[in-house]
Amino acid sequence: MGTLKKKLEARTTDFDHWASRRRYGADGPNNLRLWVLACMDERLPIDEALGIHVDTPVGGGDAHCFRNAGGIVTDDAIRSAMLTCNFFGTKEIVIVQHTQCGMLSANAADLEQAFRDKGIDTDNLNLDPTLPEQKLEKGAFAKWIGMMDDVDETCIKTVDTFKNHPLIPDDVIVSGWIWEVETRRLRPPTQDQEKRARTDTTAKQFGVSKQPPRWA
């Protein structure tokens, strides 16, 4: 049986490594070598949904987690995944989107119009003032908002986009999941209507017409 001295030495060494992980590059990965992309919705509890500890201190850092409206592909999602998968030792990407998503609840064209009504020229915006080189083409603002027609379809396409992106290494495992807000249950994305029963998964269910297409 080891002495307490030895255990404490190991514990303090482990802690030092944990605290300075980012100095070790790919040799200082998070606990599960995992990057999570998820919707920002307050009804999507990442820890509960995935059975991991992302944002509670008890886990000590299971994953890097990126949340945005929808849990969709954006340039910043790609940027973050690129960093963690290439330089911080991450080997797996898990994408979580959810039923009842706010990104189903309105048409992006109407949202754009709301800004235009306020006198904002959505064709000439400096989206990121720290990176004025990054520009949207004229007419792309509504598409940029990224509202969805169908969350299951979006989730499947999001997985494919990360799998096929040149900045994400080929050996990174990518999977996508749907959190059912109504049932507090995780399931794979599907087009089987029976499996989607009793949940709101499409913009149509919100009375919203077809979105400006994000995937051409």
Task: Please give the residue ranges that form the binding site for Zn ion (CB under 5 A).
Answer: 39, 41, 101
CA angle 33, 187, 51 (to 5 degrees): 40
Nearer to Zn ion, 63 or 148 (CB): 148
Nearest to 141 by CA among 211, 66, 55, 49: 211
Shortest Å distance, C-beta 178 to Zn ion: 11
β partners of residue 178: 97, 187
Shortest Å distance, C-beta 95 to Zn ion: 12
Shortest Å distance, C-beta 201 to Zn ion: 12
Nearer to Zn ion, 155 or 172 (CB): 155
Phi, psi of 148 (to 5 degrees): -115, 155
Shortest Å distance, C-beta 182 to Zn ion: 14
Nearer to Zn ion, 49 or 172 (CB): 49
Read off the tokens for 204.
């149509």
Contacts of 128 (CB under 8 A, 6+ apart): 134
Nearer to Zn ion, 37 or 78 (CB): 37
Shortest Å distance, C-beta 101 to Zn ion: 3
Distance CA 105, CA 211 (A): 11
Nearer to Zn ion, 101 or 147 (CB): 101
Shortest Å distance, C-beta 21 to Zn ion: 30
Distance CA 164, CA 85 (A): 14
Read off the tokens for 147.
């509202």
Distance CA 211, CA 88 (A): 36
Read off the tokens for 176.
């996508």
Nearer to Zn ion, 77 or 101 (CB): 101
